[in-house]
Structure 1
Amino acid sequence: MRPKLYALAALGVCFAGPAAAQAYDPNYPVCMQVYGGTLTPEYIDCSFTSLPQCQASASGRPATCTVNPFYAGPKPAPRSRVHPRRHHAD
């Protein structure tokens, strides 16, 4: 029974495609998808801070600009560690 399970697992690994890494950079709100010869993206460039900026780069190319679904939002400002002074009555 176990050799059949191992053979089935090995077969599944052989036919599985390569794993794709996340192509979206969570630090930027806009991504440009550049298309190759087919309708699937050739690559995704998430280095734009606005749609007009992305559209200017995509102009004249087989590319589209989209909102980054993984954008984490602006980073919060660091909290100040300065504590208010208390005045003591003498």
Structure 2
Amino acid sequence: MSGLKAKMRHYFDAGALIVIFLTLILFVAALYFTGFTHDLLLEAGVFLVSVKLIVMSYKNNVAADNLHRELAEIRALIQAIQSKSGAN
């Protein structure tokens, strides 16, 4: 479980986690106070938009990490090539 916490903290900062939990709490509170009326669709829509933004943020962070890793590999290869050509 600690691996999951570390992974979440890597991709989401404290502000994003607060927004996630606050959105969930407000959604549950809206369900409690309004009940399962026609407003449920509106509340569900707002919640799904928030979830979509969170998922997009996560995917962007993963993509950025992958890009940084690939750039580090390219930099290491270029330095290896330069050190070989400099030694000759």
- The higher radius of gyration belongs to 1
Q: Quick check: which one's strand share is greater?
A: 1
State the TM-score, normalizing by the size of structure 2: 0.25
Higher helix share: 2
Q: TM-score, normalised by structure 1?
A: 0.24
